[in-house]
């Protein structure tokens, strides 16, 4: 079977590897977009994950004739009206570390718990979900947009050393573990990013079958 290539609008080697593993079985090769770091940066001004994913896919695909996909993802807390949302990576401010973002999130949740500084958990206030939206484009035109979601809850103490971002605090009930306690393969099987990418692969298999 001939390998088909798609390009990720990212210079993150870890993210490329994550997508590569899932795509290989479908005969699709995921590669980092050549020269990505030298291209003009896309200004993400959207108020939703979909808007940002679309902006990035359109922007970066306009610099090549290849298929390009881009993702935007984050965590949403029901009790915080969906925050951090699209600001997940910079919740504690521009350039904030994962530790700073997590600390702000816990502080905001505890304020909802009547200002208590204790680690008391209130399930209704701790419900959370990760969202990932992937947009696929070619030469500045969107071909498809897919979305994945993973439901969980925020715990007070970090568990696990894998993953990144809010993963040590994101408890996934079906497996009884946080995302940071899962292997990369286990996490991709149940994560928001994994669900979205499987939907993208389904679309791509049909697209490549009919493309001339």
The residues annotated as belonging to the active site are 72
How many of the other CB atoms lie within 10 Å of CB of 114? 8
Comparing CA positions, the residue from 73, 74, 43 lying closest to residue 60 is 43
Which positions ≥6 away from 19 have C-beta within 8 Å? 8, 30, 197
> CA separation (Å) from 20 to 9, 25, 70, 83, 209?
14, 9, 14, 30, 20
């Amino acid at each position: 079977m001939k390998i088909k290539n798609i390009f990720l609008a990212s210079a993150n080697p870890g993210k490329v590897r994550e997508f590569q593993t899932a795509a290989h079985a479908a005969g699709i090769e995921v590669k980092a977009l050549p020269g990505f770091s030298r291209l003009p940066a896309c200004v993400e001004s959207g108020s939703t994950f979909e808007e940002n994913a679309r902006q990035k896919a359109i922007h970066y695909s306009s610099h090549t004739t290849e298929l390009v996909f881009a993702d935007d993802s984050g965590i949403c807390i029901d009790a915080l009206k969906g925050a951090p949302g699209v600001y997940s990576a910079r919740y504690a401010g521009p350039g904030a570390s994962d530790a700073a973002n997590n600390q702000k999130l816990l502080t905001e949740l505890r304020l909802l718990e009547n200002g208590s500084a204790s680690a008391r958990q209130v399930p209704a206030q701790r419900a959370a979900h990760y969202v990932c939206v992937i947009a696929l484009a070619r030469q500045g035109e969107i071909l498809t947009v897919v979305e994945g979601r993973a439901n969980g809850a925020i715990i007070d103490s970090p568990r696990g050393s894998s993953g990144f971002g809010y993963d040590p605090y994101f408890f996934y009930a079906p497996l009884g573990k946080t995302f940071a306690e899962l292997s990369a393969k286990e996490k991709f099987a149940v994560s928001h990013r994994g669900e979205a990418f499987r939907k993208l692969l389904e679309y791509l298999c049909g697209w490549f079958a009919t493309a001339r």
